[in-house]
Amino acid sequence: TTDRYKFHDLVNQKVKLNIKLKSTDDIDVAVNSLTNIIQSAAWSTTSVVNHCSSYQPSLPSHIRTLIVEKRRARALYQRNRLPSLKQKYNNLSNSLKKVLSKNKDISFANHLTNLSTKDGSLWKATKQALQYKASSPPIKNPDGSLASSDTEKAELFKNHLHDIFQPHPETFSATTNTVQMYLDSPLPISLPVKHFTPSDVKFTIQKYSLRKSPGFDLITAEVARCLPKRAITLLTHIFNATLRLSYFPLLWKYSKIILIPKPNKPPDSLNSYRPISLLPFFGKILERLLLKRILPIMFDKKILPDYQFGFRAKHSTIHQVHRVVDAISFALEKKCYCTCAFLDVSQAFDRVWHEGLLYKLKKFLHPTYYIILKSYLSDRYFRVHFGSSDSNIAGIAAGVPQGGILSPILYNIYTSDQPTTPNTLVADYADDKVILSSSPDPTIASINLQNHLSLIEDWYKKWRFKINQSKSVHTTFTLKLAPCPEVTIFGTQIPPSPIVKYLGLILDRRLTWAHHIKAKRLQLNSRLRMLKTLIVNNKHTKLNTKLLMYKSLLKPIWTYGLQLWGNAKNSNLNKIQRFQNIALRKITNSPPYVSNHTLHKDLHIKTIQEEAKNFYKRFHLHLNTHPNALIKNLAVLTIPGNPPRRLKRQWC
């Protein structure tokens, strides 16, 4: 435990405000000094609680006595080998098994009875039940050898990530020369930007989430909230010095990367682990302050296109999928072919070309913000932490920094000038891109889509992007049997498929939602099996607690996208409704003669169709006042364009 008042006073004594901040080296020294002061104060005011002194045996005294008797009987039998002693030993063993089994049942019943949200025991139990348990076998090297120790694995992942954090090779030298010439041109003369105030810094720290992991310096939001005014003032001076000198401190660009295994992937492959970058806390505070300055400039100059919904306030995945579904619905009502290309960009965030990004930033940003972002992207380093070992330090030559506050918006800026055509519709969510083309003639629809893909090819070559052709999908939505002609990108055919998964929803060629609902039912069945000990036949936990587990852990699986797939026919919706009936019956341990209607009524649980109506009403309520015109167009209760109704379906 840490004495917060003592920590506050100790930091207040050690912090000195009369420091020199006239060069980049002075900033790095000040950052390092402040970090050391906070770390030493935290360690000196933290006392280690000794849990050994309060140790209590987990078994009752009569069971421990029975264990001692059984062990003595076994030892006596092994010395003498008498049948009577063997009989006594067997009797004691059988008695001990029954007592241990009964004690285990009682302990588990007490555990279930005491589950509560107030002390966090409920969420610890559910997290343990749902946690993906991955093994840690040796990792395969690219040369075929195996890395077994933590040190070897850390070095292997470091080399693997170092190769990833490189830009794609140059394809257009003219673009590279143009970019370099523009970057070398002098910046315009401008007034200095407004400085940060201690209240700005304090407010940003107070609003930062407490559930974020710290970087290599181990400073968390909880520690930062305990800092005295003197330390906040010093931190503000450092932030203002970074603005004045347009320099991002070197220590705040150093990241520690941990690796999380991906579920259902071979654990011995390098690509089966997801890297998570942990950055220093104060660096992210500076990023958040800079983001507040950059966003208004972007909105005034309309840098981001309206069709890009990723990482933007008041824009969700449901909004984007709604646009795609409306376009498909319009084509089905008009007896048209809607052919779509779902493109997968290979390592989109990790291989962003820094010079190209700076070229686009320089066009609209204030020189101070442009230079500090240039410093932010350069001289970045990382170290991989695996198990109990750390790798050597390696550099990052491309990509937006993973885990950074500015990284999503920088990626959106880099991809904001992608080409569009009047005959196609584009839907982007971060690096997920969809191009749709509709026409009564399948050949014309494919030609329009191919023309757009040709423009995208040139843009990707120019700005060093790479498409993963094997993961991209070409799907045609139609009620007719004749297929659309194939389309290609970079000379390779995009694999055709009758179904496609986009932003968590599975779309089939007739838009019946049957595949999506089936996949959700299988996922729900698997999740319910994992929570079997906590929900099914559990007579000890309170009913409200079990209902809370259902609403928190099971219901969100099928309610995602319910605004869109809730119009499916009843035979498909009933698959989810039957699952809810089964789950409620197991939660309440209801006998067979209790009807499903009674269960829903007594537990105040809505049916699937009722939930779908409520979800769409709440979703539709905020569309009319949305600042994005594309989302505002979704506010109509009919399909956009209001085509004559031909199909017996409820689209909205």
Residue 488 and residue 469: Cα distance in Å, rounded?
A: 9
pLDDT digits (tens, 9 = 90+) for 33-48: 999 999 999 998 887 6
pLDDT given for residue 119 in this prediction: 83
Rounded Cα–Cα distance for residues 78 and 86 (Å): 9
Q: Name the token pair of 374.
A: 């240039």
Domain coordinates in residue numbering, the chain: 59-107, 151-306+354-397, 318-347+418-508, 514-634
CB 506 within 8 A of CB 516: yes
The C-alpha atoms of residue 461 and residue 491 are separated, in whole angstroms, by: 13
* pTM listed for this prediction: 0.90
pLDDT tens per residue across span 380-392: 999 999 988 999 9
Pairing of strands 380-386, 254-261: parallel
The whole-number pLDDT of residue 645 equals 62
| Per-residue pLDDT tens digits for 74-124 | 999 999 989 999 999 999 999 999 999 998 888 888 888 888 888 888 888
Please give the DSSP secondary-structure letter assigned to residue 638.
S
E strand or H helix that includes residue 506: strand 505-508
3-state SS, residue 499:
strand
Q: Is the pLDDT of residue 270 over 50?
A: yes
Query: Mean pLDDT across the stretch 151-177?
Result: 90
| Token representation of residue 157 | 């992942």
Average pLDDT (218-241) is 94
pLDDT digits over 482-514, tens only? 788 999 998 899 999 999 999 999 999 999 999
Q: Which single residue is written with the structure tokens 């309206």?
A: 306
pLDDT exceeds 70 at position 583: yes
Residues forming a β-bridge with 386: 389
DSSP letter assigned to residue 550: I
pLDDT for the residue 190: 87
Hey, what's the torsion of the CAs at 528, 529, 534, 535, to 10 degrees? 50
CA distance 628 to 406: 22
Is the pLDDT reported for residue 518 higher than 80?
Answer: yes
CB 535 within 8 A of CB 586: yes
* Upper half-sphere CA count for residue 215 (Cβ side, 13 Å): 23
Question: What CA–CA distance (Å, rounded) separates 194 from 647?
Answer: 59
The yes-or-no verdict on residue 652 having pLDDT over 70 is: no
Residue 49 has pLDDT above 70, yes or no: no
So what's the pLDDT on residue 637?
Answer: 72
448-470 per-position pLDDT tens digit: 999 999 999 999 999 999 998 88
Looking up tokens 């004691």 gives 92
| pLDDT value, residue 482 | 79
- Rounded to the nearest 10 degrees, how much is the dihedral formed by the CA atoms of 413, 417, 422, 428? -30
pLDDT at 41: 92
138 pLDDT higher than 90: no
Q: Are 502 and 324 in contact (CB under 8 A)?
A: yes
Q: How large is the C-alpha radius of gyration of the chain?
A: 31
Q: At what angle do helices 514-530 and 570-588 cross, to 10 degrees?
A: 10
Residue 622 pLDDT exceeds 50: yes
- For β-strands 394-396 and 337-344, DSSP reports them as unpaired
pLDDT in tens, 404-435: 999 999 999 999 999 999 999 999 999 899 99
Place of tokens 């001076």: 237
Please tell me the predicted confidence (pLDDT) of residue 641.
Answer: 67
Closest CA relative to residue 418, chosen from 345, 340, 326: 345
- The pLDDT assigned to 53 comes to 47
- Residues 640, 642, 648, 652: what is their CA dihedral angle, to the nearest 10 degrees? 40
CA dist 301 → 304, 305, 308, 413 (Å): 9, 11, 15, 12
The CATH code of the domain at 318-347+418-508 is 3.30.70
Percent residues over pLDDT 70 in the chain? 96
Residue 337 burial (CB count, 10 A): 24
Average pLDDT, the chain: 90
Amino acid 470: pLDDT = 82
Task: Let me know: does 28 contact 249? Beta carbons within 8 Å.
Answer: yes
Which of 59, 60, 65, 7 lies closest to 37, judged by CA? Answer: 7
Q: Mean pLDDT, to the nearest integer, of 175-179?
A: 91
Q: What is the pLDDT of residue 648?
A: 58
Return the residue matching tokens 């843009």.
Answer: 459
